[in-house]
Amino acid sequence: MYKSGVNMKGRIHSVETCGTLDGPGIRFIIFMQGCPLRCQYCHNPDTWKIEDGKEVTVNEIMEEVVKYKSYMKFSGGGITVSGGEPLIQSNFVLELFKKCKEEGIHTALDTSGCIKLENVKEVLNYTDLVLLDIKFFDEVKYKEITGGNLELTIKFAKYLSLINKPMWVRYVLVPNLTDDLDIIEEMAEFLSTLKSLEKVEILPFHKMGEYKWEKLGYDYRLKKTKAPTKEIIEKVKSVFKKHGLNVK
């Protein structure tokens, strides 16, 4: 059994033991429960309400994580904490990442950055990589799409650059919602100023979570929205590349 002096509790939605899409290598991914945003294209609306999650301790999670250390070491992987928005349970993430560091496990944080920076700086001290989800780059439309505040995310990104924290920026491309090339150009200009940005990942919109909206009784506004074409994906990538950014 993994021993720890800390028995911090948190609420999680689920885990994925051998993920390959949320950071480098093979990763143990924890989807935390609770999110301050209400993104129109969210594919995990069942993570929104923190009270709906399963309560676990740091020890219980670590007992599972350490079983996969050999896979992580071989592949250059580690642990990724996602959500929901993991930083609304920042104390839990902090204790979890401290234990990961004791075990020599790489830590990645998948976040919208839509959180008060002052509350989460210590977590970043134990974070090896930040996967920063920037939903859109227009303040008014950002609020319309997510219900959140773009300025918090911008401040978060600037701080990551200031402390030279490695980051990947992720951008969900939704036709007729987040595909405005002029706004994307503004975003690319901003990203080009971030010295610790390693790459930009374009995530094409999909509707695999639509059934969850219906099951929960939520109004899904993107029923008629289709996945972006290869043509628009390439156009968006070219905007980022024009600004010298590494785009996947």
Note the pLDDT tens digit of each residue in 159-205: 999 999 999 999 999 999 999 999 999 999 999 999 999 999 999 99
- Quote the CA–CA distance of 238 and 232 in Å, as a whole number: 10
> Could you tell me which of 118, 95, 97 has the C-alpha nearest to residue 108?
97
Is 2 a member of any domain?
no
Is 135 a member of any domain?
yes
Tell me the residue type at 46: D
Is 179 a member of any domain?
yes
- Quote the CA–CA distance of 236 and 60 in Å, as a whole number: 42
Q: How confident is the model at residue 7 (pLDDT cuts 50, 70, 90)?
A: confident
Whole-prediction pTM: 0.93
Is 247 a member of any domain?
no
Domain coverage including residue 234: 10-242
Question: Over the stretch 35-86, which tens digit does the pLDDT of each residue have?
Answer: 999 999 999 999 999 999 999 999 999 999 999 999 999 999 999 999 999 9
Can you give the CATH number for the domain in which 74 is found? 3.20.20.70
Count: domains in the chain: 1
Is 40 a member of any domain?
yes
pLDDT of residue 6: 56
Phi, psi of 100 (to 5 degrees): -65, -40
pLDDT of residue 207: 85
Q: How confident is the model at residue 209 (pLDDT cuts 50, 70, 90)?
A: confident
Is 52 a member of any domain?
yes
**Which residues, listed in sequence order, are joined to residue 19 by a DSSP beta bridge?**
27
Question: Over the stretch 102-148, which tens digit does the pLDDT of each residue have?
Answer: 999 999 999 999 998 988 999 999 999 999 999 999 999 999 999 99
Is 82 a member of any domain?
yes
Is 96 a member of any domain?
yes
Distances in Å between the Cα of 187 and the Cα atoms of 129, 145, 208, 237, 245 are: 21, 16, 27, 12, 11
- Quote the CA–CA distance of 14 and 114 in Å, as a whole number: 22
